[in-house]
A and B are shown apart, each in its own frame.
Chain A
């Protein structure tokens, strides 16, 4: 497989050159922020992925290449390696007018693959003023490796540029109510590194879709046990697999009840969420948890995704009648508050 990819990669070189020329010919990036009622609002995208084709499992590779014609699937490897680099991520942020982004480490060998802490830190270290790293750990042999893995996490969150912890119970095949993993929340609390947890489902092969792996309600006992740990419920329980808001109210209820619970709307701006997006942001507003929502996209996915995701989310908020102040909280203010960062200056606004 690797040899075949290498042969094919050679043939890809001219394609990449053409793409690079086209990219170089693009216009200047837009001004940072989004304009709302004459006020320019800064944006931070907490949810971005890096990684390599080499560390992507076969099932996820297949999903990524399903839409590519047979015989041209080899294009995806070199494309993905380039698209998930820090430089490319920054390019997507620039194109969308986004000031900064969270970049996740991954240890999900069953599903989406591995992006080690060291790799993420090396990617973001030169760009720490804009990219914020989230460290993670393996959990697939916890009965034997918990001590070593918790040490890996503790070292990871202290690497250059790392500001939080990333978990994905459904991808890592662990239940939210499995209290063996409370050691992770102890590190979160002691080192003050917020933990981002994927909640809800996902269309990625190998993802567990049953409620104990998807519904954040199963996490409540750990949330109560670790009040000093900030829990960011990624995707706010969005059931991506079924394109439904199955666990969204459950996530909102936790954010209402616990001061250490925040939410994130990752992938809610994707085309896949077109039918549920407005309903989602309406529930967030009526639930009174706009001050708990931290913007994220689940990018970069494909060229232009980060920008189109932001536009779709802003359009939904406009439609529902979010005020500029509410949008500012959701798009950057809550992130800056939770992570203890100074305000971002963008022209003509916050």
Chain B
């Protein structure tokens, strides 16, 4: 091989290298979430509702874990309405956690304020473009992992 040809091959290889190990951008989807949230006695409380969506499980192998976070929004408990975008193939199932911002500070309980109820529901029939949920806000200051995964029936 002549020097010129060798140089051409080397330059071509160098030019191709940057795309050799690249991956296509991930596909994103969105799910619209509607429904209601109420207290255990059935009343719909005052205050804003912070909603957070999760995959029921995400990751692979040793890194597989419950509650793969997707995103969230702020809405009203009597008429939940919002959408969450997520990367397709990033996990399975849909779990919705919500808490009531009683004092309007945007923080789910403080060391002094221990009365902001939360609830969680597991959505059936996901994936879907739109899901409807009914949440019961029964436990103060509890994150999603307090509710989910629930205690297995065998235990």
Contact = CB atoms under 8 A, between A and B. Distances in A.
Interface in A15-60: 55, 57
Given A110-B65, A173-B67, A72 B143 contact: no
A140 B151 contact: no
Interface string A204-227: 001000111000011011000000
A190 interface: no
A175 B21 contact: no
A177 B19 contact: no
The interface residues of chain B, by DSSP majority, are classed as: loop
A75 to B, nearest CB: 9
Contacts of A69: 18
Given A71-B22, A109-B62, A212-B109, A174 B145 contact: yes
Given A110-B69, A144-B151, A55 B63 contact: yes
Contacts of A174: 143, 145
A71 B120 CA distance: 42
B145 A114 contact: no
A113 interface: yes
Contacts of A139: 145
Contacts of B2: none
Contacts of A206: 69
Residue from A4, A72, A109 with most neighbouring chain B CB atoms (10 Å):
A109
A217 B21 CA distance: 46
Contacts of B151: 143-144
Residues of A in contact with B, size category: 20 to 34
Contacts of A71: 17-22
B141 interface: yes
Interface of A: 4, 8, 55, 57, 69-74, 109-110, 113-114, 139-144, 173-175, 177-178, 180, 206, 210-212, 217-218, 220-221
Contacts, number: 82
Residue from B64, B110, B144 with most neighbouring chain A CB atoms (10 Å):
B110
B26 to A, nearest CB: 10
Nearest to B17: A71
Given A71-B19, A212-B143, 4 more contacts: A140-B145, A178-B143, A212-B109, A220-B111
A186 to B, nearest CB: 19
B13 to A, nearest CB: 11
A69 B21 CA distance: 11
Contacts of B143: 173-175, 178, 212
Residue from B19, B63, B68 with most neighbouring chain A CB atoms (10 Å):
B63
Interface of B: 17-22, 59, 62-69, 107-111, 141-146, 149-152, 155
B63 A114 contact: yes
B99 to A, nearest CB: 10
A109 B111 contact: no
The 6 A-B pairs with the shortest beta carbon distances in the complex, nearest first, are: A71-B18, A109-B65, A109-B63, A140-B65, A74-B21, A143-B151
B28 to A, nearest CB: 15
Given A109-B63, A144-B155, A211-B110, A177 B21 contact: no
A140 B66 contact: yes
Contacts of A218: 111
B152 A144 contact: yes
B81 to A, nearest CB: 22
B39 to A, nearest CB: 21
B19 A109 contact: no
Nearest to B19: A71
A211 B19 CA distance: 42
Nearest to B148: A143
B20 A140 contact: no
Contact of B107 (A74, A140, A143, A211): A211
